[in-house]
Amino acid sequence: MFNRSGISSDCKTKEKVPETLARLIILCLVMWTAQPLMAAEPLGRLAGLYEATTIITGETNLSERERGIRECFELVLSKVSGRQKVMALPTLQSARETASDYVDHFTYLDRKKGIQISDEQGTRDRSFLFTVTFRQSDIDGLLAKEGLSPWLAERPAIAIELIINDGMEIYRLTQTSERGWGQRAVIESLEGRTAVSLLLPTNKEAALDANAVKLTGRMDVTKEGYWSSSWALSRNGEPVPLLDGKETGATDWNVDIGTFDKVLADAVWTSVETLSALPD
C-alpha cells in the first residue's frame, strides 16, 4: 500500500532556552516541518505541500504509526486547503479514521541517534521524527467532496509588522529583537503549517518587504498573563477585507484573549484563509 524508508541524522541543540518554554520550542521547531523563518521568496508552489511531520514513539509500534499518520493527515489537509479548521467537515472527519489509505510513503528520523541505549525501555520508547507524504490525487479528491479546492497557486509572502507590549517593554518584533523569541518560534512553526512565507523585519528600523502582503498587529499582555490583540491585513497599501468567518467583510479584527501562541495562530490563519479565497 505504501513504502517505508529509514533516515537518520544527528540532532544538536544550538542554544539554551528557558525550561518553562522548552515544550513550546520542541513543538514549534521539531514537530512541524518548517522552511527558514525569514525566507526572502515565497515557498515553492508544491514543495512539501502534501507531507507533514510529527513525533512518534518506536519505529515498529504500529499503533503509534497510525496515530502519527492521522496527525499528519490533519496537518496536510489544513496546509493544502489553506484552512485551519478544515477537519471539522464531515467527509474529512470520516476519512481521518482510514488516513493510512491515502499515504504514499513515510520516513523515520531517529531523534537520539548516537546516544547509547541503556535498557530495553530505551529501545521501545525511542522517539522518531515521522514524516508522511500523502498522494496528491487522494487529498485533492477528499477536499472536492466538501466543495473545496487545493490552494496550488503561488502563495504570497506575509510581512508581519507586530508591536508587542509584554508588561515590561513595548517593542517591535524583528528577526534580531532581544525580546520576543517565543513569538518568533511560533511564527516559524506557522510558516511550516501554512506553507506561506512569514517575514519579519531584520531590525527595529528596517522596512518590510514592499511586495509582500502586510499583517499589522499589536499584542498586549493582560494582568492575568494572557494576551489581547488587534490586527489588519493589507495588500499594495490597500486594506484586504476578511472573506470567511464571523469577521467577514471587516478590514481589521480582534483576536479573543488567549496565550500568545494561540493569538498569533489565529491572526496568521485568518490572513491565510482570506488570501486563499482571493482570485489568483
Is residue 275 scored above 50 in pLDDT?
yes
Average pLDDT rounded to a whole number, residues 217-239:
95
In which band, very low, low, confident or very high, does the pLDDT at 278 lie, cut at 50, 70 and 90? confident
Q: Which amino acid is at 200?
A: L
- Give the DSSP letter of residue 208: P
Residue 248 has pLDDT above 60, yes or no: yes
Q: ∠ at Cα 254 (251, 255), nearest 5°?
A: 130
**Neighbouring residues of 27: CB distance < 8 A, sequence distance ≥ 6:** 189
Identify the three-state secondary structure at position 89. Answer: coil
Under the banding of pLDDT at 50, 70 and 90, the label for residue 74 is very high
Taking residues 177-202, what's their average pLDDT? 96
What are 160-185's pLDDT values in tens digits? 999 999 999 999 999 999 999 999 99
What's the confidence (pLDDT) of residue 279? 77
Number of H helices, E strands in the chain: 7, 11
Residue 125: which residues within 8 A CB-CB, separation 6 or more? 57, 58
pLDDT value for 103: 98
Classify strands 127-134 and 51-57 as parallel, antiparallel or unpaired.
antiparallel
Residue 91 pLDDT: 96
- The 10s digit of each residue's pLDDT in 16-55 is 434 444 444 444 443 433 333 333 344 455 669 999 999 9
pLDDT of residue 7: 41
CB-based burial label for 104 (10 Å; 0-12, 13-18, 19+): middle
Q: What percent of the chain has pLDDT over 90?
A: 67
Whether residue 114 is predicted with pLDDT greater than 80 in this model: the reply is: no
pLDDT at 2 over 90: no
Task: Kindly state the cell numbers that stand for 235.
Answer: 495588500
d(CA 196, CA 36): 11
Q: What is the pLDDT averaged over residues 89-111?
A: 95
Distance CA 228, CA 263 (A): 8
Nearest C-alpha neighbor of 215 from the set 260, 159, 256: 159
Cα 257 to chain centroid, rounded: 20
User: Would you say residue 217 has pLDDT above 90?
Assistant: yes
Class of the domain covering 158-277: alpha beta
Q: How confident is the model at residue 245, as a pLDDT?
A: 57
- Average pLDDT over all residues of the chain: 83
Domain assignments of the chain as residue spans, ordered by start? 3-31+46-145, 158-277
